[in-house]
Structure 1
Amino acid sequence: MLCFTLSTTLLLAATCSLMTAVVSLEKATTCGSDWNVQRLSCDDGVISVQTALYGRADAVTCSEGRPPAQLSNTHCSQAGTVDVVKQRCDGKRECELNINVFYTSDPCYGTYKYLNTTYTCLPAIHLVACEGSLAQLQCDQGQVISVNATNYGRRDQTTCIYQRPLYQIQNNGCISPTLQVAASCNGFNSCTIAANNSVFGDPCGGTYKYLEVAYTCYYPESSLLP
């Protein structure tokens, strides 16, 4: 929300105009069969996961062809689901999540489960820098950077793969959120940071990594004063 104060020699009273951006809530539901994949995507901006449930909260969702005994437990929820989805998807434009990542434990044996995720699309810039290169964050004149989300590691097998052997890109569970980018770049008009292990450490040895940054640009309040 931005409040602009206008002042001229002919203006006797200041006018304040409040503008609020409307962000819609998206929803994705994937039934719990082996190898089913949930896909989240934003046409504009980046993903921000709000809620995620792996289990069952009603008897209707993903119920086709299922016996009543597999649908009766509507208080089934696996702990930590939202953290897993956020780690893999926040700050990305697109994200695919195989439902079998939740098979490590069974929160309600005998119940047919599903993954239900709600998310918004933040109006942010998505930047990727392959390991060994530089990430360059840039805002328009008068604006400054605000970092929303970062990860140094590997969350898929399609990013930064040119001439890389399979063993260097197959670990797509290398998730290492970092605060270094925000500490170095927030409040500046532009910022350059190296995507390498010297800056961020090595969260997964032998894996070719990349730095992901989602950030927004805004006018600081001081620049809006007359």
Structure 2
Amino acid sequence: MNLSSYLALNRFDISFIFVCKSFSEDAILCEGSKGYIQCPPGQKIAVYNAYYGRTHNGSICPHAVTSDQNCRASGSFNKIKNACHNEQRCYLAANNGVYGDPCRGTYKYIEVKFSCVQA
């Protein structure tokens, strides 16, 4: 993930805003966090891969419980795409209440691979 592509916020109950600054971005929201993906004015989000689950070791969203590294919530791609694709800005919440729990006992995250394209 390009660390310069997000800004951490501590107000309004929002954890992150991911602003697209290059052709391709990777947004990560750890379980329990909320945030926005946003493109500059005149551009829209193009989602090309997304999921809620865990497919990496502890280097992404480090936690003591990361044993299942091969899980993705069924339907999470479509939920994330429906929320974000062709929007200038979208809100996401990384939690089991939205996507279900694809791997009980494992700390999960949302990963969105996207780019900003001309509207």
Q: TM-score per shorter chain, which class?
A: 0.7 to 0.9
Q: Which residue of 2 aligns with 1:70?
A: none
How far apart are the structure 1 equivalents of 2:86 and 2:71? 29
> Could you tell me which of 170, 187, 192 is aligned with 2:91?
192
Unaligned runs of 5+ in 1: 1-122, 221-226
SS in 2 for 1:182: helix
Q: Cα deviation per residue 1:13-49 (whole Å; 9 max; x = unaligned)?
A: xxxxxxxxxxxxxxxxxxxxxxxxxxxxxxxxxxxxx
Give the structure-1-normalised TM-score. Answer: 0.40
Q: Which residue of 1 aligns with 2:61?
A: 160
Higher relative contact order (CA 8 A, sep 6+): 2
Percent identical across equivalent pairs?
36
SS in 1 for 2:71: coil
Query: RMSD of the TM alignment (CA)?
Result: 1.3
* Counterpart residue identity of residue 187, structure 1: N
Q: Which residue of 1 aligns with 2:14?
A: none
SS in 1 for 2:81: helix
SS in 2 for 1:140: coil
Aligned residues, how many?
94
Q: Which residue of 1 aligns with 2:35?
A: 135
Alignment of 1:48-87 (within 5 A): none
Q: Which has the larger radius of gyration?
A: 1
Give the structure-2-normalised TM-score. Answer: 0.73
Unaligned runs of 5+ in 2: 1-22
* Deviation at residue 188 of structure 1 after TM alignment: 1.3
Q: Which residue of 2 aligns with 1:148?
A: 48
* Counterpart residue identity of residue 38, structure 2: Q
